[in-house]
Amino acid sequence: MPWTRRHFLTIEELSRAEIEQVLATAGAFRRILDRRVKKVPALRGKTIVNLFLEPSTRTRISFEMAAKLLSAEVISFDADKSSTTKGETLKDTALNIQALHADMIVLRHSASGSPHYLSERLGIPVVNAGDGAHEHPTQAMLDVFTMREKLGPVKGRKVVILGDILFSRVARSNIHALTKLGANVTIVGPSTLVPPWFEPLGVTVSHNLRTALADADVVMLLRIQHERQAVGLFPSLGEYTSMFGLNQTRASWLKPDALIMHPGPINRGVEIDSALADSDRSVILQQVTNGIAVRMAVLYLCAGGQPEHVAPVE
Amino acid sequence: MIPMSELLWIKNGRVIDPATKRDGRGDVFAAGGRIVKSLTPAQRKSARVIDAAGLVVCPGLVDIHVHFREPGQTHKETILTGAQAAAAGGFTTVVCMPNTSPPIDNAGTLQLVLAAAAKAPVRVLTSACITVGMKGEQLAPHGTLKANGAVALTDDGLCIQSNELMRRAVEYARMFDLTVLDHCQDDSLTEKAVMNEGAVSTRLGLKGWPHAAEDIIVARNIILSHYSGAHIHMQHISSAMSVELVRRAKRDGIRVTAEATPHHIALTDEALASYDTNFKMNPPLRTEADRRAIITGLRDGTLDCIGTDHAPHSPDEKDREFDYAPNGIIGLETALPVCLDVLVRQSKFKLSHVIDLMTRRAAGVLKLPAGTLAPGAHADVCLFDPDEKWTYDATKGFSKSRNSPWHGQKLTGRVHATIVGGRVVHETGK
């Protein structure tokens, strides 16, 4: 089955087969990353513009790295210096970038749905690098990629997502990816940050850390955003840590070989005990490395590449 | 100015006038701008005759909730283009909201608006602000505004948050027999909210507007109405619980009324899945349960009337990321077919009931002299074919704006002619 999508906007719209295609393509690029010479010519002559209208370091560097390893030219667009501060609309900014002969736009934006909006107005592919509280599809792909690398198929596995789910695009994309692949997903955290409206997405909603973590194969932590306490969503970071922080005792409720994941940036001592973040069970930095391969795959596929054409051999 | 001299004979239509309990084949006559029982044989010879065979002939529709954007935002709509859109939709009387720029909070602005309204093809009335600048701080001069022609008071989308100020406002307005129209929204619950809070907002990652924010203010208004005896009208009810609160209040004899929009009875928040800003309005589209509760409220009389909340915005303003696009949709040109579809065809309302909600009862909320074909009434008439199928093209409509969720949709029920003061102000295809 050929890859037919020009845009990479959400996990929700992908079929299970498409998710498998992305993961397989990422697998091929992941092997290339272990070579002495990592660069491939797949996107030579293409120019990719990273339009990051919301602050990001990890995701932007990861996309830049992925594009460079594919031999594409990369231009990253800094929100603070952009014409958006002069009143130009997103549409006009993007149309200008297209008129400047960019071949693809990677968009990070605080407004949910903005990649979808741009995709309907541009003739070039749009890749979602995170939109508001909606989706962060490449993050979910790299998370699933990492789980499969460590655990094998995720079907039937218990994955717990813990923390600020309400505002998390990472959680939403992971929920879609994991449920499509047959994992059992539990979301857990304070009732103000984990509302029951997630249930229609096929997950278990819990506020009880003990039952949630019991026999889990994976626990994925989300960063607690300090500013949330100011608006009364939870009392304090201290209260959060004592009720929901992952510490050694709580980690013992997981399966012995369970993975500890985090999309970063982490708050050591808040949502995760520092020693656990550095422990053997933590795959946090491997997630970051796998992110390059996943983003290489996404850029490659949206530029018209086909999964079977990625040279998987040394 | 509306010429008052024409003789008019509307023949052979199905005449439906809920105010006079008329529903049957017959004729409607007008002379001197008023409905008359009959015309003399001599008058009939010189009268303009309109053949209404196959059409429904009903009172001109009444909409007590429109935004015509003049003065200050005439790139969106003007009183003239808004009135033309009203005429095209079968409306003959509309009440403008005062959230213009500057807002209608003083006699001068009010006079400016009414001067433009006097030249419009339909009867354009206006409400005025409750507070100066709609800032929720100081009462606007209600008595002066009434003396200059304001028909109601409202701070429109800027619901007064202070219970003390709202109490004093309704007490003061009551002295002038002015109804306060309230957009019921507790702002503390809706900061940055752009759609209904629930499963769909959760899936889309958009900030939710809980129906509790409406319910709290509806309850507050019921309590203040009960306390003061003032009439408070709840605009565009969107929540099932608000319907129930109004139902109980009416049972208790409290002087509240309420309206529903065509979009809240036709659509739900599921329509937002593609982030189309032509489905973004305030209050937002809610769930299927809310939609059904509003229809039930219209059926049992809890909700008094249909109001469109016709809210034009330019294409550029709507062509934004969902979070940044302004709230509101246009509705005058689609209200009748949408209500016929949802209420008559889907919900089995009698046709006369729907006409009642869009004429007599809408006028009744503000005691406007409109909404009937009784002899002596203004000869304001709507002629429509309830079964005609047509495709609505917002780019070819009369409104200056195009922000309609029904653009490109096939609608059933089409206005053929609109008559104001005995004069034809709109004919389909003309």
Please check whether residue A134 touches B, CB under 8 A. Answer: yes
CB contact under 8 A, A195 and B202: yes
E-strand spans in B355-406? 381-391
d(CA A212, CA B105): 57
B380 has catalytic annotation: no
Q: Give domain limits for chain A.
A: 16-136+288-309, 138-284
**pLDDT tens-place string over residues A154-188:** 999 999 999 999 999 999 999 999 999 999 999 99
Residues 244-303 of A with CB under 8 A from B: none
- Banded model confidence at residue A1, pLDDT cuts 50, 70, 90: confident
**pLDDT tens-place string over residues B88-143:** 999 999 999 999 999 999 999 999 999 999 999 999 999 999 999 999 999 999 99
CB contact under 8 A, B202 and A135: no
Using DSSP bridges, classify how beta strands A259-261 and B7-17 pair: parallel, antiparallel or unpaired. unpaired
- Res. A311: pLDDT tops 80: no
**pLDDT tens-place string over residues B13-51:** 999 999 999 999 999 999 999 999 999 999 999 999 999
Residues 188-247 of A with CB under 8 A from B: 195, 197-201
Check: CATH 3.40.50.1370 for A16-136+288-309? yes
Chain B residues with CB under 8 Å of A132 CB are 205-206, 323
What is the CA A262 to chain-centroid distance, rounded?
10
- Which of A191-205, A230-244, B140-154, B309-323 is predicted least confidently? A230-244
CB contact under 8 A, B199 and A109: no
d(CA B104, CA B115): 13
The reply to whether A16-136+288-309 and A138-284 are identical in fold is yes
Angle at A134 between CA A128 and CA A140, to 5 degrees: 60
Q: Give domain limits for chain B.
A: 60-365
Query: pTM of whole model > 0.80?
Result: yes
Sheet with A104-109: list strands edge to edge.
Answer: A73-78, A47-52, A104-109, A126-131
pLDDT at position A87 is 80
User: Which residues are CB-contacts of B158 (< 8 A; sequence separation ≥ 6)?
Assistant: B99, B134, B135, B136, B183
- Fold for domain B60-365? TIM Barrel (3.20.20)
Q: Number of Cβ pairs closer than 8 Å across A and B?
A: 59
Tell me the average pLDDT across B214-223: 98
> What percent of chain A is modeled with pLDDT above 90?
88
Please check whether residue A89 touches B, CB under 8 A. Answer: yes
Crossing angle of helices A137-151 and A169-180, in 10° steps, is 50
- Banded model confidence at residue B53, pLDDT cuts 50, 70, 90: very high
- Res. A83: pLDDT tops 90: no
A12, A91, A111 member nearest B322 (Cβ): A111
Which tokens is B316 given? 């550029």
User: Quick one: closest CA in A to B316, which residue?
Assistant: A89
Chain A residues with CB under 8 Å of B206 CB are 112-113, 132-134
User: Which residues are CB-contacts of A199 (< 8 A; sequence separation ≥ 6)?
Assistant: A205, B199
Q: Which residue has the tokens 């246009």?
A: B330
Mean pLDDT in chain B? 97
Handedness of CA A147, A151, A153, A157 (dihedral sign): negative
Task: Please give the full DSSP string across A48-92, using - where no structure is assigned.
Answer: EEEEE-S--SHHHHHHHHHHHHTT-EEEEEEGGGSGGGGT--HHH
- Res. B220: pLDDT tops 70: yes
Q: Which residue has the tokens 């049957």?
A: B24
Please check whether residue B206 touches A, CB under 8 A. Answer: yes
Q: A139: closest CA among A151, A124, A127?
A: A127
Q: A263: closest CA among A80, A129, A150?
A: A129
Residue B121 burial (10 A CB sphere; 0-12, 13-18, 19+): buried
DSSP, collapsed to helix, strand or coil, labels residue A129 as strand
Which tokens is A79 given? 């929100």
What is the widest separation between alpha-carbon atoms in chain B? 69
User: Quick one: closest CA in B to A89, which residue?
Assistant: B320
Tell me the average pLDDT across B252-271: 98
- Banded model confidence at residue A78, pLDDT cuts 50, 70, 90: confident
Residue to test with chain B: of A112, A122, A174, A199, most B Cβ within 10 A: A112
Please check whether residue B271 touches A, CB under 8 A. Answer: no
Residue to test with chain B: of A92, A95, A117, most B Cβ within 10 A: A117
pLDDT at position A55 is 85
B72: left (phi over 0), alpha (psi -120 to 50) or beta: left
- Res. A229: pLDDT tops 80: no
**pLDDT tens-place string over residues B360-389:** 999 999 999 999 999 999 999 999 999 999
Q: A152: closest CA among A249, A218, A245?
A: A218
d(CA B358, CA A307): 59
The length of chain B is: 430
CB contact under 8 A, B322 and A117: yes
Please check whether residue B188 touches A, CB under 8 A. Answer: no
**C-alpha torsion B393→B306→B188→B162, nearest 10:** 130
- Which of A115-129, B350-364, B416-430 is predicted least confidently? B416-430
CB contact under 8 A, A112 and B319: no
pLDDT at position B274 is 95
Residue A254 · residue A213 · CB < 8 Å: yes
DSSP, collapsed to helix, strand or coil, labels residue B425 as strand
Q: Which of B17, B215, B309, B341 is catalytic?
A: B309
Q: In sequence order, which ranges of B258-325 are alpha helices (DSSP H)?
A: 262-266, 288-300, 315-318
User: Which residues are CB-contacts of A170 (< 8 A; sequence separation ≥ 6)?
Assistant: A136, A139, A140, A143, A222, A263
What is the widest separation between alpha-carbon atoms in chain A? 56
- Res. A193: pLDDT tops 70: yes
**C-alpha torsion A4→A10→A14→A17, nearest 10:** 90
Chain A residues with CB under 8 Å of B274 CB are 116
Which tokens is A209 given? 């850390």
Tell me the average pLDDT across A231-245: 92
Tell me the average pLDDT across B248-261: 98
CB contact under 8 A, B205 and A131: yes
User: Quick one: closest CA in A to B205, which residue?
Assistant: A134
- Res. B357: pLDDT tops 90: yes
Q: Which residue has the tokens 């406007």?
A: B368
- Res. B2: pLDDT tops 60: no
What is the CA B226 to chain-centroid distance, rounded?
25
pLDDT at position B429 is 65
- Fold for domain A138-284? Rossmann fold (3.40.50)
Tell me the average pLDDT across B398-424: 97
